[in-house]
A and B are shown apart, each in its own frame.
Chain A
Amino acid sequence: MTRAHVVMLLGLGMLGVIVLDQVQSEPLNPYTAPPMIALGSGMAAGGAHCAAPPPPAQ
């Protein structure tokens, strides 16, 4: 087994994730997408980040 086989399996896995996502997620709409650059856009930063504190425990 070579690294090529590993990457092929990984690529298939990633493709599976993307296909699953496209099937179940809301359709993409580029016309409602945010501007290309956040800085200067006037929009509040809203993306999820691993450092964001969680909501309080229920």
Chain B
Amino acid sequence: MTQANAHAAPPSAPGALSRAGVLALVAALVLAVALNAGPRSGAILAIGLGFGLALEGFRFGFTGPWRRMILERDASGLLAQLLAIGIVACAALPLLAANGAELKGAHAPVGLAMVGGAFVFGVAMQVVLGCGSGTLVNAGSGNAIGAVALPFFAIGSFAGAYHLSWWTSLGSLPVATLDGTGGLAVTLAGLAGIAALALLLGRKGSHRLPARYWAAALALAVLAILHLVVAGQPWGVVYGLGLWVAKAVVAVGGDLSGSAFWAAPANAEQVEASLFTDVTSLTDLGLIGGAALVAWWRAGFASPVGVLPARAWVAVIVAGLVLGYSSRLAFGCNIGAFFSGVATGSAHGWVWFAAAFAGSWVGIKMRPALGLEKRK
């Protein structure tokens, strides 16, 4: 490599002018949403873009760190997740305690279907190497597996919500939450306990977090707190995806009155309202857009799509459906249940983590048999 081309940009890297143009276009889109749907919608879309920029920009996620913890005993990614959740909890629990009418937490009951759903979600997220946020980020960055899984994730989310009341009737405990200062102390102690266990089981040196993990944890925490303050509810992913399919079903003449969930007044109103008024739809769109922006900025769209056997694509489609369906039964994915649930004091967030982590171990073992990676 010569001195001249050692510093040259990659052939397909966007120039400064086109970068400025795209940033101006993104700002104009956010402004257009704010002017047409209201300032809150514009702000939530901007926060969603921030989530996408942070996750793709710092190459951070939830599935990969769990996989590395299980396969390589590398605890660093899991520790960064716990750090982010802990920071959010320090702000969210006092805010919820003082402003219970204006803000709400990701509080859901623990139940049979919830635990089973979280376990199955853990399996599926390792099969496609993408969780709730991960599938959106992967799709936005041009990953074919994420892009194929996404529409089926949405269909699964719609179907899971359709049947949610029946599944919940199989057996659920009352909603249990950790509130106020005592709740915050228990939450932080729980996160510290899991971190200590991860360090104990992790290989030597994996307690050192790379700079990008620190940055990702801080960025996600700040954005998640902003999300709670602006939207009045914590960050979530899967409701919006199911809503998009519900709208499509209604558009082709489908009737949702047979579902206790979709016929409920709040959800029926949201099906009729613009998705630019739905919080999770806005953050989901932002996530995809933010990830696409980073991938484009890095000239990552020139990479070829990998070739996989047919059974691998079938596995991706099935796993996408399962991700969507199971995340509704589990009252959220890694974001709505684990990240936001734990950070806002919901007991179901902790149970979700235990069940999904166990499911992840199974999912990792399944990947070679499904043709998604070579057998060792």
Q: Name A1-57 residues within 8 Å CB distance of B.
A: 1-7, 9-11, 13-14, 17-18, 20-28, 30, 33-57
**Is B221 interfacial (CB-CB < 8 Å)?**
no
Q: Which of A4, A52, A56 has the most CB of B within 10 A?
A: A52
B164, A54: Cβ atoms under 8 Å?
A: yes
**Is B5 interfacial (CB-CB < 8 Å)?**
no
The A interface is mostly helix, strand or loop, or mixed, namely loop
Decide yes or no: A46 and B175 within 8 Å by CB, A1-B305, A4-B302, A36-B40 being known contacts. no
Alpha-carbon distance A10/B300, docked complex (angstroms):
16
Range of interface residues on B (Cβ < 8 Å): 35 or more
A-B contacts, 27 of them at CB < 8 A, read A2-B303, A3-B303, A4-B302, A6-B139, A6-B147, A10-B147, A20-B248, A20-B251, A21-B274, A21-B276, A25-B272, A36-B40, A36-B43, A39-B228, A41-B102, A42-B102, A46-B232, A47-B279, A48-B239, A48-B278, A49-B236, A50-B106, A50-B333, A50-B336, A51-B337, A51-B346, A54-B165
Decide yes or no: A3 and B232 within 8 Å by CB, A30-B35, A39-B102 being known contacts. no
Contact pattern, B 338-359, Cβ under 8 Å of A = 1, otherwise 0: 0011000010100000000000
Range of interface residues on A (Cβ < 8 Å): 35 or more
Q: Which residues of B contact A4 (CB under 8 A)?
A: 142, 301-302
Which single member of A2, A14, A28, A47 contacts B274 (CB below 8 Å)?
A28
Q: Which residues of B contact A54 (CB under 8 A)?
A: 161, 164-165, 168, 260-261, 264
A51, B332: Cβ atoms under 8 Å?
A: yes
A39, B332: Cβ atoms under 8 Å?
A: no
B233, A47: Cβ atoms under 8 Å?
A: yes
